[in-house]
Amino acid sequence: MGLLNRFFGGGLPPGFPGKLAEGEDPVAAAAVEGGGHLVVTSLGLWIPSGDGTTRRVGWHLVGKATWGEGVFALTESEETGRAGAVAVLADREPVRFRLPQPGKVPQQVRLRVDGSVRGRHRHEFPEGGAWFVQRKVPGRDGVELQVRPDPGTDPALVEAVAAEVAEKLANRGE
């Protein structure tokens, strides 16, 4: 399979410092201007750090990814808490990578991020709003309900609604 992966654009770049999980297949890779690589796998997107290391961002934690004018921008989400079974997320500052030869990386990222979303709903609150998103978590069965409040939205109110939604979904599944 390694030869076919390389022929079709997959495979790991030489010297890739990450350690893939068992069954994690590389799909596409692109060199980043200034060093390192973006590597798309079945479980997430590997991104280089400034210290020569690399880390994987799971598809369920890619809040936003854009491609334009030779720059790939990634907004990663991080779990800041839980409201019952619901993961409460906040977006980190976007990071940008200049890709002189992007290959299939932008297309494969789009396919995998879109493929992780099973459903979404926008809920408005008095001081803002929040996105409720059901996402497939790579390597796990089922979906996870996530909520991403807008900046300035009352977190306690969002968490109360999120816990209520999780309870309703759990009761529906019984």
In this structure, are residues 98 and 31 in contact, taking their beta carbons and an 8 Å threshold? no
**Local structure of residue 101 (DSSP, 8 states):** S
Q: Could you give the domains of the chain?
A: 2-173 (2.30.29.30)
pLDDT-derived band at 6 (thresholds 50, 70, 90) equals very low
Q: What pLDDT sits at residue 5? A: 43
Q: Cα dihedral sign for 156, 147, 138, 10?
A: negative
- Average confidence (pLDDT) over 67-88: 94
Say which range, 2-11, 70-79, 142-151, has the weakest mean pLDDT. Answer: 2-11
pLDDT digits (tens, 9 = 90+) for 16-30: 999 999 999 999 999
Residue 140 exposure: Cα atoms within 13 Å on the Cβ side: 11
pTM of the prediction?
A: 0.88
Per-residue pLDDT at 120 exceeds 90: yes
Structural contact between residues 63 and 87, judged by C-beta atoms closer than 8 angstroms: no
